[in-house]
A and B are shown apart, each in its own frame.
Chain A
């Protein structure tokens, strides 16, 4: 009945070729990541231990662990997201749900897009001028977090706007038709159905904030600082802090005779922190997706 015409055969062949090419690309993406992880972990192996995580660096940073840097990074990430996430999400809700298309909103949108592309060193200089010097905060966790927040804000606004826009307009119209206000519509329909995308966008910024060195170098991070070990509240917002990214930079460029495994071990901790945040974001997304309602 179904004889194969040459056309059908060609189609099938193309289908198979396409499948292999796309598959190969997907593998090509994963292989370097696995190689990086394998390389880092194997080099860092002699130093990796729980103690490495929870002890301060000692002996001119050649021995000991990364505790003060690890905790500093956590502080910076959490603080900066606590500032940028609420502001970013509210701004995105305004831009996507309330703002009319006018020159004013166009300028805001343009600013958002362009700010997202500004190099981090520029944010660093802005943070130095605005927060450290002008606002008189001095070099501190607060100033560094604000700088990081300014850096992540446009990206959070953009990703939140995208998640909001993914909720069909017909849902909003159905709500308006029955006399719901814009806010009622947002609270009951739009936010509950975009929250997974919004949270994912926010959590993805963890890796960015944890990885950046430039913005914190001038605004609040120091080469070395000793803090009580095992105390999660060891830093004060007015303090300067160490940070993993900066610590890695210091150890590789400024410290002579450091054990060979040390930079790799620091990198592994940094990477693990970031991957942990990403895994959290992915599982959150999977969980919220499973409850998706349309």
Chain B
């Protein structure tokens, strides 16, 4: 566990983050932190800025024209705007998008893509790494005999696990999952949830989810984001209790929000 003097126990610290798409501000100066080795859930209705927030953390927001980011995001106390290499930053943060994306490469190459882009070449190193990532993503048994077939030809749920394996392939310190379960069945979802509980020992996990129950099952703390503002962020015992700090939280968690 890495701790620095000014941010003890904070893997990620977000400080007054603002985000504008053109003239429209969609995140209005939010501050929170994520502790090392926890599963931190972010819940909130559509359009509340959850995906945008994740993209600010790994700075892929920069690929969208006309965005402007204010405030600070610190990873291990280091401002993401000041890091030496943005590619290195993105490798430290694994990102799993809502819709599964198998790259038009073989299954093997899908997972080897990131290590290769980072300069890993040795076949033995890659073989071991790829097996480990596919195992962690609960996909190994299904694909171990056809690693050279196309990743795009897998089923939706398999592609989502492939995406997770790819996110693990660059050995991130933080794993961000953005509604990872919307394209997959409940059984697979449960298997991945088990995986996440295991992975927590090795990394910090940020879980954006539309399923309130998923946040309740997995996370130790949960943040309720609404229209670009934090309504409440607290330990799960509080958020999912009868008396969270905000009435909105209670309504949302109980599905009577409107």
Could you list which residues of chain A lie within 8 angstroms of chain B, going by C-beta atoms? 100-101, 170-181, 184, 188-189, 192-193, 293-294
| A176/B104 in contact, CB under 8 A | no
When C-beta atoms are compared, the residue in chain B nearest to A185 turns out to be: B117
Could you list which residues of chain B lie within 8 angstroms of chain A, going by C-beta atoms? 58, 60, 63, 65-66, 87-91, 94-95, 97, 99, 101-105, 113-114, 117-118, 150, 152, 163, 166-167, 169-170
| B101/A173 in contact, CB under 8 A | yes
A188 touching B113 in the complex, CB below 8 Å, given contacts A170-B99, A179-B87, A294-B152: yes
Q: Which residues of A contact B118 (CB under 8 A)?
A: 179
| B117/A100 in contact, CB under 8 A | no
Distance of A294 Cα from B110 Cα, bound (Å) = 13
Minimum Cβ distance to chain B for residue A102 (Å) = 9
A174 touching B97 in the complex, CB below 8 Å, given contacts A184-B117, A189-B103, A293-B150: yes
Minimum Cβ distance to chain B for residue A188 (Å) = 7
Distance of A181 Cα from B170 Cα, bound (Å) = 14
Q: Which residues of B contact A171 (CB under 8 A)?
A: 101, 103-104
| A175/B103 in contact, CB under 8 A | yes
| A180/B117 in contact, CB under 8 A | yes
Residue in B65, B66, B90, B152 whose CB lies within 8 Å of A178: B90
When C-beta atoms are compared, the residue in chain B nearest to A178 turns out to be: B114
A294 touching B104 in the complex, CB below 8 Å, given contacts A173-B60, A173-B97, A178-B114: yes
Q: Which residues of B contact A184 (CB under 8 A)?
A: 117
Minimum Cβ distance to chain A for residue B78 (Å) = 16
| A176/B113 in contact, CB under 8 A | no
Some 19 contacts from A to B, beta carbons below 8 A apart, are A173-B60, A174-B103, A175-B103, A175-B113, A176-B63, A177-B95, A178-B90, A178-B91, A178-B113, A178-B167, A179-B87, A179-B90, A179-B91, A179-B114, A179-B117, A188-B113, A192-B104, A293-B105, A293-B152
Q: Which residues of A contact B87 (CB under 8 A)?
A: 179-181
Distance of A188 Cα from B110 Cα, bound (Å) = 11
Distance of A174 Cα from B118 Cα, bound (Å) = 15
Minimum Cβ distance to chain B for residue A23 (Å) = 34
When C-beta atoms are compared, the residue in chain A nearest to B91 turns out to be: A179
Distance of A232 Cα from B110 Cα, bound (Å) = 46
Minimum Cβ distance to chain A for residue B206 (Å) = 14
| B104/A189 in contact, CB under 8 A | yes
Q: Which 7 A-B pairs have the closest CB atoms?
A: A293-B104, A178-B114, A179-B90, A179-B91, A294-B152, A177-B95, A179-B87
